[in-house]
């Protein structure tokens, strides 16, 4: 089952060709049930500018087309029906919308102060759920899912911290459930008894201001007769710590909500679904076999590998491209307002363009230089299209910078990108030559039809006023253990990504006293939000002091000087013996000049072109491989 997830693919709040192609790929891959992303049930439900709306009949045609496409592949389809209450994430037009909630109770994460709903508005929204369910029913969908998870409107009614009403919708447990009962009954009245009506709910909000598991379980027990299933997840959109559970990053254990789900499965007579870092069929199988839940949702696992179910059925588990929980291209894109994709499978979200790659008109001999993720993806894509591809890697092992990235604390799973791409290289019979540094002579000797340069980058060291009193190193030296960690260390983080905070955490765990100086307005500004917030939590637990707006300036007599990037005042770190400069990378591209004059097309990608992330490298690998 693929659980509901915003894709940012819709335009004009309607289902379009891109979204149909996206779900069709998963239905073809063997997914049994797709729950489509949230659809707003009332005008006040617009929580992002690119969501689906089910508020009038114009939505029906698109849903019908989507249902037909899924049914043709034997896949069942439900739609999430949604109202965010006070959880308004972004403005649609640069102005702040009026958010409505059961009471005037501020949202901490988006700093929204909602207006209390009047009874008329509650009635309109209940009618909106009913009308939207009817539209899904008419479109031929198999069911709908009432989104009561993640702190959205229904659960705002249940939570006495948010709902301080004194009318029939507030106060007693029964009153706080009234909105649920009215909405669910109205949806049933507008459909029929074969139409599935389920509910998504967080087992607990994972925050001190939120609901706990007992209260949520009592709610599900009370509503059981109105529901066909309960789909459990965790967390709340309302707080930073709670929201991490909306798409838990790789620091969370696989299937970490199975025990929570079991408490619901044991008490409820209707099916219970569970989702949350269940990445592989064997993990799902263990949850089902152990009686923890009746169905496993796998959202990012299917964003990453739409064919995972078929591969599982065909007993090809090693061929599965397992999601690594990096959050970079899926929810990372969503939060920035771009269509979702996958760092490992950039074809996702781009199915219309890259869904099927045409075979090359003529099989050519291609050399790919550099076995990082980008080079591997280029080699795989070119080989898939019928070219004869040889991949050269200078080191003894494939992986490039991903081999170092996986050494950062809590990031071991990032190494999965190497395992997955290596398997694809094998499947597509790419010839791999390790431990060979390619030079002009080798290229001349091989005389390929095209060269793909994916030679990566090396650490960039900024110019400093420097008296030699402090050991200045780059993060690669720390990760490779080339140097002994200092006693009192400053980590200068220009990239605002994983590296600076990761190095700081690592060195503290090894016994150094570390401060982190970030050249930016906040820690991890370049990171997917939930990854950033998880890192912030770890640093806080370790008592690592973080200073922002800090541009590294120089070193004098054991003191490291920074400058505040807004005030231009000096910032001083005294009694320091090591400065780690996390200042990004410069292209390692000398071979380009060396090959000048050769009559062979050269294509560059990834960091050797300009230092960015693995996501750009893999996508450029796909683009180049698709056009060779
Ligand atoms: C890009 C993205 C968008 C999401 N949007 C929604 C949503 O619209 N509704 C919802 O209930 N959950 C949403 N989620 C949460 C997923 O349904 C799922 O619970 C989460 O990804 C954890 O499961 P996984 O580890 O299998 O990915 C979203 C997740 C992602 C990655
Ligand atoms: S981008 Fe990362 S987290 Fe998202 S689906 Fe791909 S591998 Fe998984």
Nearest bound ligand to CA 246? 1
Q: Answer with the residue of higher pLDDT: 370 or 94.
A: 370
Of 240, 233, 242, 239, the C-alpha closest to 260 is 233
Is there an atom of ligand 1 within 6 Å of 277 CB? yes
Output the pLDDT for position 583: 97
Query: How close is the Cα of 129 to the center of ligand 2, in Å?
Result: 32
**For residue range 32-70, what is the model confidence (pLDDT) as tens digits?**
999 999 999 999 999 998 999 999 999 999 999 999 999
**Length of the chain, in residues:** 628
Question: What is the residue whose two structure tokens read 């698709």?
Answer: 626
Distance 2 CA to ligand 1 centre (A): 9
Query: Per the domain annotation, does 59 fall within a domain?
Result: yes
Quick check: CB of 84 below 6 Å from ligand 1?
no
Instruction: State the closest ligand 2 atom to the C-alpha of 331, by its place in the atom list counted from 1.
Output: 4
Ligand with the closest atom to the CA of 416: 2
Read off the pLDDT of residues 63-109 as tens digits, 9 standing for 90 and up.
Answer: 999 999 999 999 999 999 999 999 999 887 889 999 999 999 999 99
Cα dihedral 79, 80, 83, 84 sign: negative
Nearest to 602 by CA among 593, 611, 610: 593
Does residue 456 have a pLDDT over 90?
Answer: yes
594 domain residue, yes or no? no
Q: How far is the CA of 279 from the centre of ligand 2 (A)?
A: 10
pLDDT band, very low/low/confident/very high, at 212 (cuts 50, 70, 90): confident
Residue 226 reports pLDDT greater than 90: yes
Alpha carbon distance 122, 163 (integer Å): 13
pLDDT of residue 15: 98
Give yes or no: residues 411 and 504 share one domain: no
Check if 109 has its Cβ closer than 6 Å to any atom of ligand 1.
no
Task: Give me the DSSP letters along 404-415.
Answer: HHTTSTT-GGGG
Report pLDDT digits (tens) over 317-366: 999 999 999 999 999 999 999 999 999 999 999 999 999 999 999 999 99
**Which atom of ligand 2 is least distant from the CA of 417?**
7
Structural domains of the chain, count: 3
Contact status, residue 183 vs residue 127, Cβ threshold 8 Å: no
Give percent helix, percent strand, percent coil of the chain, each to the nearest 5: 35, 20, 45
pLDDT attached to residue 280? 95
- Dump pLDDT digits (tens) for 521-574: 999 999 999 999 999 999 999 999 999 999 999 999 999 999 999 999 999 999
Q: In terms of domains, do 314 and 372 share one?
A: no
Is 105 close to ligand 1, i.e. is its CB under 6 Å away?
no
Residue 233, ligand 1, Cβ within 6 A: yes
Please tell me if the CB atom of residue 324 comes closer than 6 angstroms to any atom of ligand 1: no
Q: What is the mean pLDDT of residues 463-485?
A: 95
Q: What is the pLDDT of residue 209?
A: 85
Backbone angles phi, psi at 305, to 5 degrees: -140, 90
Residue nearest atom 2 in ligand 2 by C-alpha distance: 326
Helices 119-138, 173-189: axis angle to 10 degrees equals 40
- 81/133 Cα distance (integer angstroms): 8
- Residue 2 inside a domain? The answer is no
4 CB within 6 A, ligand 1:
yes
Supply φ then ψ for residue 466, to 5 degrees. Answer: -145, 120
- According to the model, what pLDDT value does residue 92 have? 79
Q: Evaluate whether residue 396 is within a structural domain.
A: yes
Domain, as residue range, for 556: 471-583
User: Does 210 have pLDDT greater than 90?
Assistant: no
CATH of the domain at 503: 3.50.50.60
- Any domain includes 12: no
Which of 51, 152, 229, 299 has most ligand 1 atoms within 8 Å of its beta carbon, as the pocket-test mutant?
299
User: SS3 of 431, please?
Assistant: strand
Q: Is the CB of 132 under 6 A from ligand 1?
A: no
Is residue 334 within 8 Å of residue 300, measured between CB atoms? no
What's the 299 CA to ligand 2 centre distance in angstroms?
Answer: 10
Nearest atom in ligand 2 to the alpha carbon of residue 345 is: 6
Instruction: Let me know whether 173 and 194 are in one domain.
Output: yes
Residue 176 pLDDT > 90, yes or no?
Answer: yes
Q: What is the domain-level CATH number for residue 195?
A: 3.20.20.70
Answer whether residue 26 shows pLDDT above 90. Answer: yes
Q: H or E segment at 184?
A: helix 173-189
Q: Are 60 and 138 in contact (CB under 8 A)?
A: yes
Beta bridge partners of residue 554, listed in sequence order: 465, 561
> Which residue shows structure tokens 């037009």?
93
Q: Please check whether residues 421 and 478 belong to one and the same domain.
A: no
* 5 C-alpha to ligand 1 centroid (Å): 5
Q: Which ligand is nearest to the CA of 296?
A: 1
Alpha helices in 244-338 (DSSP H): 258-267, 281-289, 300-304, 308-313, 331-336
CA distance 307 to 26: 7
Please check whether residues 244 and 222 belong to one and the same domain: yes
The CA distance from 182 to 393, in Å, is 63
Q: Which of 561, 532, 528 is nearest to 547 (CA)?
A: 561
Which 3 state secondary structure label does DSSP give 434? Answer: strand
Does residue 511 share a domain with residue 443? no
Question: Is residue 391 domain-shared with residue 520, that is, in the same domain?
Answer: no
pLDDT tens for each residue of 258-314: 999 999 999 999 999 999 999 999 999 999 999 999 999 999 999 999 999 999 999
Q: Residue 427: its pLDDT value, please?
A: 97
- Closest to 328 in 3D by CA, of 368, 300, 306: 300
Q: Is residue 522 part of a domain?
A: yes
Cα–chain center distance at 420: 18
Ligand 1 center–CA 4 separation, angstroms: 6
**Are the C-beta atoms of residues 575 and 558 closer than 8 Å to each other?**
yes
The answer to whether 340 and 349 are in contact (CB under 8 A) is yes
Token pair belonging to 124 = 């309109």
Average pLDDT over residues 141-162: 97
Residue 427 shares a structural domain with residue 510: no
Separation between Cα atoms, residue 365 and residue 28, nearest integer Å: 32
How far apart CA 589 and CA 91 sit, in angstroms, is 43
Residue 384 reports pLDDT greater than 90: yes
Using pLDDT thresholds of 50, 70 and 90, give the confidence band for residue 211: confident
CATH of the domain at 414: 3.40.50.720
Asked if the structure places residue 533 within a domain, the reply is yes
* Distance between Cα 233 and ligand 1 center (Å): 9
Beta strand pairing call for 545-547 and 513-518? parallel
Q: Do residues 451 and 314 share a domain?
A: no
The per-residue pLDDT for 1 is 97
- Let me know whether 269 and 162 are in one domain: yes
Identify the three-state secondary structure at position 297.
strand
Residues 74 and 213 in one domain: yes
pLDDT at 508: 98
Measured over the CA atoms of residue 521, residue 523, residue 526 and residue 527, the dihedral's sign is negative
Report residues whose beta carbon is within 6 angstroms of any ligand 2 atom.
300, 303-304, 323-330, 342-344
Task: Output the pLDDT for position 227.
Answer: 98
Asked if residue 598 is part of any domain, the answer here is: no
124 in the same domain as 65: yes
């Amino acid at each position: 089952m693929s659980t509901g997830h915003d894709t940012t693919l819709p335009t004009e709040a309607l289902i379009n060709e891109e979204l149909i192609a996206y779900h069709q790929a998963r239905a073809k891959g063997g997914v049994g049930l797709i729950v489509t992303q949230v659809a707003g049930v009332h005008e006040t439900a617009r929580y992002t500018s690119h969501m689906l709306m089910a508020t009038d009949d114009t939505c029906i045609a698109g849903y019908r087309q989507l249902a037909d496409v899924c049914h043709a592949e034997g896949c069942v389809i439900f739609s999430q029906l949604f109202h965010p209450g006070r959880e308004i994430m972004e403005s649609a037009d640069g102005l702040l919308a009026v958010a409505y909630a059961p009471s005037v109770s501020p949202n901490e994460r988006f700093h929204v102060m909602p207006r209390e709903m009047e009874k008329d508005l509650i009635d309109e929204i209940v009618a909106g759920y009913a009308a939207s369910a009817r539209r899904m029913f008419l479109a031929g969908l198999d069911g709908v899912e009432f989104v009561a998870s993640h702190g959205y409107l229904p659960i705002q009614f249940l939570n006495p911290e948010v709902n301080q009403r004194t009318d029939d919708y507030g106060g007693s447990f029964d009153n706080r459930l009234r909105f649920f009962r009215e909405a669910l009954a109205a949806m049933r009245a507008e459909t029929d008894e074969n139409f599935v009506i389920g509910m998504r709910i967080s087992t607990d909000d994972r925050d001190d201001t939120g609901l706990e598991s007992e209260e949520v379980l009592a709610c599900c027990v009370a509503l059981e007769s109105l529901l066909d299933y309960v789909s459990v997840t965790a967390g709340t959109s309302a707080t930073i710590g709670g929201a991490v559970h909306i798409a838990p990053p790789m620091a969370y254990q696989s299937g970490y909500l199975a025990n929570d789900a079991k408490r619901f499965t044991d008490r409820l007579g209707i099916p219970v679904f569970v989702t949350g870092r269940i990445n592989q069929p064997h993990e799902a199988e263990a949850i089902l076999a152990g009686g923890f839940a009746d169905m496993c949702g796998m959202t990012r696992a299917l964003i990453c590998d739409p064919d995972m179910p078929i591969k599982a059925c065909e007993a090809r588990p090693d061929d599965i491209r397992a999601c690594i929980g990096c959050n970079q291209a899926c929810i990372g894109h969503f939060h920035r307002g771009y269509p979702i994709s996958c760092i490992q499978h950039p074809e996702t979200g781009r199915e219309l363009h890259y869904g099927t790659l045409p075979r090359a008109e003529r099989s050519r001999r291609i050399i790919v230089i550099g076995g990082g993720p980008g080079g591997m993806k280029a080699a795989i894509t070119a080989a898939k299209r019928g070219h004869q591809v040889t991949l050269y890697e200078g080191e003894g092992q494939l992986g490039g910078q991903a081999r170092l990235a996986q050494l950062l604390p809590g990031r071991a799973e990032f190494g999965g990108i190497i395992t997955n791409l290596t398997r694809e290289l094998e499947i597509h019979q790419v010839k791999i030559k390790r431990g060979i540094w390619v030079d002009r002579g080798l290229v001349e000797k091989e005389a390929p039809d095209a060269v793909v340069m994916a030679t990566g980058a090396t650490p960039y060291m900024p110019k400093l006023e420097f008296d030699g009193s402090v050991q200045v190193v780059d993060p690669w030296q720390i990760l490779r253990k080339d140097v002994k960690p200092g006693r009192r260390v400053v980590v200068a983080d220009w990239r605002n990504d994983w590296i600076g905070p990761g190095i700081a955490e690592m060195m503290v765990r090894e016994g150094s006293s570390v401060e982190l100086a970030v050249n930016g307005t906040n820690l991890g500004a370049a990171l997917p939000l939930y990854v950033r917030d998880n890192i912030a939590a770890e640093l806080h637990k370790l008592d690592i002091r973080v200073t922002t707006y800090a541009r590294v300036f120089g070193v004098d007599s054991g003191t490291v000087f920074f400058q505040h990037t807004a005030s231009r005042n000096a910032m001083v770190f005294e009694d320091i013996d090591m400065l780690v400069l996390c200042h990004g990378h410069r292209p390692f591209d000398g071979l380009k000049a060396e090959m000048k004059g050769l009559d062979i097309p050269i294509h560059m990608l990834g960091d050797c072109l300009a230092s960015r992330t693995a996501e750009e490298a893999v996508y450029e690998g796909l683009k180049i491989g698709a056009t060779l």
